[in-house]
Amino acid sequence: MLSLTDQPRRQVLAAALVLIIAGVHFQQYVDFISQIPTVGILFLLNAAGGAGLALALLSPDRTMRTAAALGCLGLAIGSLISITIALQSSLFGYSEPSLRLPIVLAILAEIALIPVAALLPRRSRAPSASQQ
């Protein structure tokens, strides 16, 4: 289990989760979403943005990592809102008919990413004498 002081592992976990999200969006874009106006471009932007965020999460610069963590929150929450709308009605003219496996994978990664990314900007605490 990750502790609050395990910053490097949280960064890698967040990067992996955002890469899963980006990968699913890119796969869906290539598979068929590219043919859907507006939604296709949004999927491509999600994939590219996710790849960039993953790299930024692994940056040695704290400000870059903090900005990336905020970007990850926006990406995950925005994606969850978008799929909810597409499943219940229509998003830019596109309706998602069912929860296919790629969608479930993306949703799980997005849900997992939110608390991980939210904890990233926290400062790592020095171990107490009892933890050393």
What's the total number of domains in the chain?
1
Instruction: Tell me whether residue 129 is in a domain.
Output: no
Instruction: Tell me whether residue 130 is in a domain.
Output: no
The token duo for 107 is 């949703």
Question: If you average pLDDT over residues 110-119, what whole number do you get?
Answer: 96
Band of residue 130 on the pLDDT scale cut at 50, 70, 90: very low
Instruction: State residue 123's pLDDT score.
Output: 59
Instruction: Tell me whether residue 34 is in a domain.
Output: yes
Contact 58, 7 (CB under 8 A): no
* Tens digit of each residue's pLDDT (9 = 90 or more) over 54-70: 999 999 999 999 999 99
Q: How many residues does the chain have?
A: 132
Contact 39, 125 (CB under 8 A): no
Q: Which of 2, 3, 7 is closest to 124 using CA atoms? A: 7
Question: If you average pLDDT over residues 73-100, what whole number do you get?
Answer: 95
Instruction: Tell me whether residue 131 is in a domain.
Output: no
- Amino acid 15 reads A
pLDDT at 125 exceeding the cut of 70: no
Question: What percent of the chain clears pLDDT 90, i.e. is strictly above it?
Answer: 82
Q: For residue 112, what are the domain limits?
A: 7-119
Instruction: State residue 27's pLDDT score.
Output: 97
Instruction: Tell me whether residue 127 is in a domain.
Output: no
* Tens digit of each residue's pLDDT (9 = 90 or more) over 90-105: 999 999 988 999 999 9
74-78 long-range CB contacts below 8 Å, 24 or more apart? 75/18, 75/21, 75/46, 75/49, 75/50, 75/110, 75/113, 76/18, 76/21, 76/110, 76/111, 76/113, 76/114, 76/117, 77/110, 77/114
Instruction: State residue 122's pLDDT score.
Output: 72
Among the listed ranges 3-17, 35-49, 110-124, which one has the minimum average pLDDT value? 3-17
Q: Is the pTM of this model over 0.95?
A: no
